[in-house]
């Protein structure tokens, strides 16, 4: 009782202080309105400072055993179906190609995509090459700006503004990651909202996160993961889903999209304790961290569906471009436990490209006001 009375007195004195402060800083008309309309208590409540998410999510070897054990490899019988992202994406791209040719016949226009590639990263060069090739297959016009590793922010902004103003371009993509000296946020914010086919503008991402709101574009990797689940007949509604990784490109939008599909979603990151115990409860596991063999067979519930977004380049002189990609999942082990698994390569990667073309087509339809 005593405590409550003291609290009340403190609150009252804070209120008086707030009102005094307010009188000093407010113009007299607002002060009058404030006094007339809101003759009740005000308290200053400062928000706590936001904890930065800028430090990198580094998965420490302490908590993990990266080795995909050769003893377990192949020792289990395969229970899992392989989700063939390559053939599903080919089907989608062929549908897009038909729509593009109909558009060309009816209004004499085709969708256009512009890609900005900065630097010499081999993996980024491969992704961009594949995106341009897919555009050609679908009849989508593509433009590319290639800039050197040490280019200035102004050079990128100038390429961006010419793509923003070009009416034959309906989608703009800045291949990530950018070299460290460049301000990614500032550059991505320059992409016109109507051409943000990556869906990385905070307004698109925010609308994806909010109930009753519709983003103009959904990020391609996330959309590709959901499309793989749906086209493989996996029910999402009411299922427990775990997303490993919280990147803006993949983990975050995938977790938001799974929520939209009514899954119960948990997000794991490098500081999560006992991640294997959490993944073992999941019906659907999506992993997107770029740590080879992070997800072992014993991390999975029997019958789970596993979507591997991870791509980690491993030196390989025998392959065409000097490296090959490996995923986050210990594939051989997962095949013996899960009901369905995506391979790397040939799983999510081609779907990301198909979704990019689909977003570009949608953007062109919106621009030309056709359905």
Q: Does 145 bind ligand GUN (CB under 6 A)?
A: no
The DSSP H or E segment spanning 112 is strand 112-118
Can you tell me the distance from the alpha carbon of 226 to that of 232, in angstroms, rounded to the nearest whole number?
10
Q: Which residues contact 186 (CB under 8 A, 6 or more apart)?
A: 153
Q: Does 236 bind ligand GUN (CB under 6 A)?
A: no
Stretch that binds ligand GUN, among 54-62, 63-71, 168-176, 230-238 (CB under 6 A): 168-176
Long-range contacts of 192-195 (CB under 8 A, 24+ apart): 192/164, 194/363, 194/366, 194/367, 195/163, 195/164, 195/169, 195/170, 195/171, 195/363
Shortest Cβ 357–ligand GUN spacing (Å): 12
Whether residue 122 contacts residue 322, with contact meaning beta carbons closer than 8 Å, is answered with yes
Q: Does 352 bind ligand GUN (CB under 6 A)?
A: yes
Q: Does 173 bind ligand GUN (CB under 6 A)?
A: yes
What sign has the CA pseudo-torsion 318, 324, 328, 330?
A: negative
Stretch that binds ligand GUN, among 17-25, 140-148, 169-177, 229-237 (CB under 6 A): 169-177
Judged by CB under 6 A, the chain residues 188 through 207 that form the site for ligand GUN are: 198
Stretch that binds ligand GUN, among 11-19, 167-175, 276-284, 336-344 (CB under 6 A): 167-175
Count of all residues that appear for the chain in the document: 371
Q: Does 293 bind ligand GUN (CB under 6 A)?
A: no
Note if 259 is an active site residue. no
**Angle, helix 348-368 to helix 220-231, in steps of 10 degrees:** 110
Note if 104 is an active site residue. no
- Please say which residue, 138 or 300, places its beta carbon nearer to ligand GUN: 138
Token readout for 243 is 């997303």
Q: Does 144 bind ligand GUN (CB under 6 A)?
A: no
Q: Using the rule CB under 6 A, which residue among 249, 257, 268, 294 binds ligand GUN? A: 249
Q: Does 220 bind ligand GUN (CB under 6 A)?
A: yes
Give residues in contact with ligand GUN (CB under 6 A).
173-176, 198, 220-221, 249, 352
Q: Catalytic residue positions?
A: 131, 175, 198
């Amino acid at each position: 009782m005593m405590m409550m009375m003291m609290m009340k007195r403190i609150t009252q004195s804070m209120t008086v202080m707030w009102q005094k402060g307010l009188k000093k800083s407010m113009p007299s008309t607002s002060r009058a309105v404030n006094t007339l309309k809101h003759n009740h208590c005000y308290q200053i409540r400062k928000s706590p400072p936001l904890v930065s998410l800028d430090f990198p999510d580094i998965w420490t070897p302490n908590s993990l055993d990266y080795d995909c054990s050769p003893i377990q490899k192949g020792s289990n019988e395969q229970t899992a179906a392989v989700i063939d992202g390559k053939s599903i994406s080919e089907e989608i791209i062929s549908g897009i190609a038909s729509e593009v040719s109909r558009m060309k016949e009816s209004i004499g226009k085709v969708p256009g995509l512009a890609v900005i590639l900065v630097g010499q990263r081999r993996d980024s060069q491969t992704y961009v090459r594949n995106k341009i090739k897919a555009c050609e297959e679908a009849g989508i016009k593509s433009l590319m700006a290639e800039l050197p590793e040490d280019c200035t922010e102004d050079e990128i902004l100038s390429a961006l503004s010419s793509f923003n103003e070009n009416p034959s371009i309906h989608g703009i993509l800045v291949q990530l990651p950018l070299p460290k000296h460049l301000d990614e946020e500032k550059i991505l914010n320059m992409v016109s909202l109507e051409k943000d086919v990556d869906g990385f503008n905070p307004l698109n991402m925010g609308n994806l996160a909010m109930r009753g709101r519709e983003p103009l574009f959904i990020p391609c990797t996330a959309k590709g993961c959901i499309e793989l689940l749906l086209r493989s007949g996996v029910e999402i509604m009411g299922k427990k889903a775990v997303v490993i990784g919280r990147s803006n490109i993949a983990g975050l939008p995938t977790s938001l999209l799974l929520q939209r599909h009514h899954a119960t979603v948990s997000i794991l990151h490098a500081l999560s304790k006992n991640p294997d115990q959490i993944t073992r409860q999941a019906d659907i596991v999506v992993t997107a961290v770029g740590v080879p063999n992070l997800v072992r067979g014993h991390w999975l519930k029997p019958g789970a569906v596993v979507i591997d977004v991870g791509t980690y380049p491993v030196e390989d002189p025998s392959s065409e471009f000097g490296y090959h990609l490996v995923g986050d999942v210990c594939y051989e082990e997962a095949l013996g436990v899960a009901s369905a698994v995506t391979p790397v390569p040939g799983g999510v990667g081609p779907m990301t490209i198909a979704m990019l073309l689909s977003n570009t087509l949608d953007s062109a339809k919106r621009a030309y006001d056709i359905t």
